[in-house]
Amino acid sequence: MTRELRRQFDLLRLITVKEITLKYKRTYLGIFWSLLNPVLSTIIFYIAFKIFMRIHVENYTLFLVSAMFPWTAFSAATSLSASSLINNVSLIKKIRFPRQMLVISVVIAQLVNFLFSIPVICVVVLLYDLTPGLSWIAGIPILVVVQFTLTLGFCLALSMVNAYFRDMEYIIGIFLNMLFWLTPIVYPVSTVPERYRAYMYINPLTSLMSSWRELFMRNRIEWRGIGLSFAVSLGVLCCGMLIFQTLGRRIDEVL
């Protein structure tokens, strides 16, 4: 590893650690706050859909948490990364370093938070008299890589666009709310009318969340879904990098 690469890696590590620790500094629960939001959301959706609306889905609590935690990691990274460049103006103007690191650190930090949710998912699995399988050992790292690729693509584009158009920060909230309901998180794809079901897979998160669910609920690595998700994720990442590089030429002037 060259000296320059080592310096950049150390800088990325420091920024990532700051992202993880600074947010929960001087709080009693610390990083466990990152678990509270998806847990409470799961409880609310369970009451609404399972008790009130009586949706017919087996092991519905596990069905929810197996997609809710990955979604929360994606959603949090997307919303936080939008302001990652704006919030680090002084660092950008003082030090020469790849600006992408600020976005990458946010995505990594949220995926680390997601990994803390794995024990919670294990508890829910055991409550349903199921057991985590050996497929988790291979499946979790593979799906984390796919989710990292997809999330980073979105975040690179949105962070740079938001530096030019500050309204984007508010539009992202609307976008994420729409995307949540267009992604099969609280309902299975099978409940969507068959004539519309193919359109669900235009959303790259559909295959990704379904793959997480297959892994946690059935101990099965859904290679077809993962392959589709990864192909789309690479496309999103390339687009995100292109937008970031193109608009990034004048970022110092804009900020």
The pLDDT tens digits of the residues spanning 50-80 come to 999 999 999 999 999 999 999 999 999 999 9
CA distance 223 to 49: 30
Digit-coded pLDDT (tens) for 104-157? 999 999 999 999 999 999 999 999 999 998 999 999 999 999 999 999 999 999
CA distance 241 to 123: 38
Amino acid residing at 8: Q
> How many domains, in total, are found in the chain?
1
Sorting pLDDT into bands at 50, 70 and 90, what band is 28?
Answer: low
Strand ranges inside 57-117, DSSP E:
none
CA 104 → CA 5, 22, 98, 202, distances in Å?
15, 16, 10, 25
CA distance 128 to 247: 50
Angle at CA of residue 31, ends 26 and 32, nearest 5°: 110
CA distance 79 to 107: 10
Q: What would you report as the CA-atom Rg of the chain, rounded to the nearest whole angstrom? A: 19
The residues, any chain, with a CB within 8 Å of residue 113's CB and separated by 6 or more, are: 20, 31, 34, 35, 73, 76
CA distance 200 to 107: 25
CB 68 within 8 A of CB 38: yes
CA distance 206 to 223: 14
Question: Domain limits at 201?
Answer: 3-254
This prediction has a pTM of: 0.92
CA distance 15 to 101: 8
CA distance 62 to 53: 18
Digit-coded pLDDT (tens) for 149-185? 999 999 999 999 998 888 888 899 999 999 999 999 9
Residue 247 has pLDDT above 70, yes or no: yes
Strand ranges inside 101-208, DSSP E:
none
